[in-house]
Chains A and B, each alone.
Chain A
Amino acid sequence: MTARSGDLHVDVAIIGGGPAGLSAATHLRAAGVGDVLIIEREHQAGGIPRHSQHTGYGIRDLHRVLNGPAYAAELVARAEACGARILTGAMATGWSGPLSLDVTSPSGVYRVHARAVIIATGARERPRTARMVAGDRPSGVYTTGQLQNATAIWGQHPGSRAVIVGAELVSWSAVMTLRHHRCHVALMTTQYARAESYAAMTLPGRLLLGVRVATRTQVVQIIGKDRVQAVRITHLDSGKSALVPCDTVVFTGDWIADNELARAHEVAVDPASSGIIVDAGLRTSSAGVFAIGNVVHPVDTADVAALDGVHVAAQVADFLHHQSWATAPVELQAAGALRWVSPGRIDPSGPAPARSRLLGWGSTVLRTPTITVEQGGICLSRQKLAWPMSPGRAFRMPWSILANVHPSRGPATITVA
Chain B
Amino acid sequence: MKALDAEVVVIGAGVVGSAIAKELSGYRLSVLMVEARPDIGDATSKANTAILHTGFDASPGSLESRLVARGYGLLRDYAGRVGIPIEDTGALLVAWDDEQLSVLPKLQAKATANGYDATQIVDADAVYARVPALGPGALGGLLVPGESIICPWTTNLAYATEAVRAGVQLRRNWPVERIEVNDQVTTVHGPAGDMTCRWVINAAGLGADRIDAMFGYERFAIVPRKGELLVFDKNARALAPVIVLPVPSAKGKGVLISPTIFGNVMLGPTSQNITDRTDTATTVDGIEFLRRKGMSLMPELMMEEVTAMYAGLRASTQHDDFIIEADSAQRYVVAGGIRSTGLTASLAIAEHIVVLLNEAGLRLRARQDLPGPMRMPNLGEGFMRPYRDEQRIAADARYGDIVCFCERVSLGEIHDAFASDIPPVDLDGLRRRTRAVMGRCQGFYCGARVQQLLDQCAGERP
Which residues does A use to contact B, with CB under 8 Å?
6, 41-42, 89, 91, 93, 102, 104-109, 124-130, 132, 134-137, 139, 142-143, 145-146, 149-150, 153-154, 156, 220-221, 223, 225, 256, 260, 263, 271
Contacts and interface: CB of A to CB of B under 8 A. Distances in A.
A124 B441 contact: yes
A225 B281 CA distance: 9
Contacts of A221: 281, 284
B283 A134 contact: yes
B449 interface: yes
A129 B306 contact: yes
A142 B230 CA distance: 20
Interface string B441-453: 1111101110110
B99 interface: no
A196 to B, nearest CB: 20
A291 to B, nearest CB: 17
A42 B287 CA distance: 35
A124 B445 CA distance: 8
B281 A134 contact: yes
Contact of B284 (A130, A134, A154, A256): A134
A207 to B, nearest CB: 30
B165 interface: no
A412 B452 CA distance: 50
A49 to B, nearest CB: 14
Interface in B407-462: 408, 427, 440-445, 447-449, 451-452
B451 A106 contact: no
B442 A128 contact: yes
Contacts of A153: 448
B400 A145 contact: no
B400 A109 contact: yes
Contact of B291 (A104, A128, A132, A223): A132
Contacts of B451: 150, 154, 156
A257 to B, nearest CB: 11
A127 B400 contact: no
A132 B287 contact: yes
A260 B397 CA distance: 25
Contacts of A129: 306-309, 442
B28 interface: no
A106 B398 contact: yes
Given A104-B400, A108-B393, A143-B444, A41 B235 contact: no
A271 B303 contact: yes
Contact of A127 (B281, B284, B443): B443
A187 B127 CA distance: 50
Given A126-B305, A145-B444, 15 more contacts: A91-B387, A93-B387, A104-B400, A106-B398, A108-B400, A109-B390, A124-B444, A127-B441, A132-B287, A134-B281, A134-B282, A134-B309, A137-B280, A154-B448, A156-B452
22 contacts: A6-B390, A41-B405, A91-B387, A105-B400, A124-B444, A126-B305, A127-B441, A128-B442, A132-B291, A134-B284, A137-B280, A139-B427, A142-B447, A145-B444, A146-B443, A146-B444, A149-B448, A150-B447, A153-B448, A154-B448, A223-B281, A225-B278
Contacts of B57: none
Interface of B: 230, 234-235, 278, 280-284, 286-287, 291, 303, 305-310, 387-390, 393-394, 397-398, 400-402, 405, 408, 427, 440-445, 447-449, 451-452
Contact of B309 (A91, A132, A149): A132
Contacts of A126: 305
Nearest to B427: A139
A241 to B, nearest CB: 10
Nearest to B396: A106
A220 B283 CA distance: 9
Contacts of B308: 129
A264 to B, nearest CB: 9
Contacts of B387: 91, 93, 104
A220 B288 CA distance: 12
Contacts of B310: 137
Contacts of B443: 127, 142-143, 146
A89 B403 CA distance: 9
B397 to A, nearest CB: 4
A106 B390 CA distance: 10
A37 B256 CA distance: 45
Nearest to B452: A154
B388 A104 contact: yes
Given A132-B230, A134-B286, A135-B281, A106 B445 contact: no
Contacts of A220: 284
A109 B388 contact: yes
Contacts of A134: 281-284, 286-287, 309
Contacts of A106: 393, 397-398, 400-401
Given A129-B309, A135-B282, A108 B448 contact: no
Q: Which 3 A-B pairs have the closest CB atoms?
A: A127-B442, A150-B448, A106-B397
